[in-house]
Structure formats: C-alpha cells, structure tokens
Structure 1
Amino acid sequence: MGRATSLRLAQDGRDLVLGYVRDEPAAATTRSEAEALGVTCSTVRADLTTDSGIDELFDAATSRAGRIDAVVNNAGATFRISSLAETPPPTCRRRRTWKAREDRVHASDGPGRSARGV
C-alpha cells in the first residue's frame, strides 16, 4: 500500500521523502520508480515506533524538501490494543508525538490551506 500511494502521489507531481525501517531494496525501488515519474524522491531509514525515529524522519523531510505539505502514515505499528485507561503512558506519548508532527505539517502549509486535502 505504501508503494502504491507513493507512486500515485508521484504521478500527481509531488516530491517525496519515504520512510522505511527494514526493507531498503523495496524503498530504493519505489524511489527509482517515483523519480522515473519526474519527481524528487529520497528515502530515510527510521523506526516510527520510537520518538527519535519520528523526529529523524520529519527532520530529514524538512531539510530535504524545505517544507512538508502532507504526511501519509503507512507504518504497521499498532503499539497496543486496549482501552485508554489500560494504555501505558509511554504509548500515549508516542501517539501525542505523531499528533505534534501532524500539527507541524499544518503549520507549515500556509494560511487557509489544509494539508489533509492533498
């Protein structure tokens, strides 16, 4: 699903920064396919189940692309399936960390325009 979404965005002319955790050959193939569609694409190895991995990906995207217009999160980590009352604080912090990054995307998108509509 991540490859298909990336290539669809590339077809629309969107430059990409792709995060991956394990499959470097697949990430490189997707990058090459996106570049063949005429867009700039780079890859970042980052574990999005950690705060430092999330920071690494967002920092790389900002430094490579200048700004972030949209985020597509295809990471398969569910962290924990339980009620909120049973969810440990570190898990909630990870979710808030993603929310903070999402807010950063909206802030960089300019007035009157929503990144969610991409």
Structure 2
Amino acid sequence: MNWLQQLPIPVQTIGLLIASNIFMTFAWYGHLKHQTNQAWYVAALVSWGIALFEYLLQVPANRIGHSQFSVAQLKILQEVITLSVFVPFALYYMNEPLKWDYLWAALCMVGAVYFMFRSA
C-alpha cells in the first residue's frame, strides 16, 4: 500500500471508490443473473460476502478523502462513481438496453458535482 500513499489524495480516494463500487454493484445486482433459482437468503449471504470487500475499500477511501473533501463532496463523488460503474455493468454484464435516461441522469450528476464543488 506504500505506492498508494504516494498518489495524490483525490486519486487515492477516487480509485478506492471505483474499486469498492465494482464490488458493491456485483453484490447488489449480480445475483439477479446467477442466482435466480436460489432462495433470497442464499443470494443475501453471497452478496454480504462480496460486500465485505466493498467495505474494505470504501471505508479507507472515505477516511483518506475526508482529509481533503467534505462529507457532502465525498457523497456526490460516490454517487457519480456509482452511476459510472453501474451503466457499463447494466449494459455489458446484465445485457440491459442503453436508454436515454442514463444520459439524463449523468447530466443531473454533472450539475450536482458543480454545485457541490463550486465553493471548494
């Protein structure tokens, strides 16, 4: 982890949040593709196992990031990253169709980022 500490704080934070979101997305939605014949509690247990790795990345990301970002800024970063990870997941992994709503949601997020960071 020493090489990670040499990176700028925003890069550390965003990188860890991206990685945690990949785990989160698979924990929340991956069972819809692979465990539809399983009882919901089996999917929940598998999801919790995957989510452990999310938290092992997300908690350090927020601790590192909080030294430079406000809690509100961390939250909006998380939401933008979530959408950025979710859309490719939905399109390529879950084979969902591309919808204009993804673009409109992304534009709303751009506005949210602007307002959250404009006074920084």
Q: TM-score, normalised by structure 2?
A: 0.38
- Structure whose alpha-carbon radius of gyration is higher: 2
Q: Indicate the structure with greater strand content.
A: 1
Question: By percentage of residues, which structure has more helix?
Answer: 2
Q: Which has the higher contact order (CA 8 A, sep 6+)?
A: 2
TM-score w.r.t. length of structure 1:
0.39
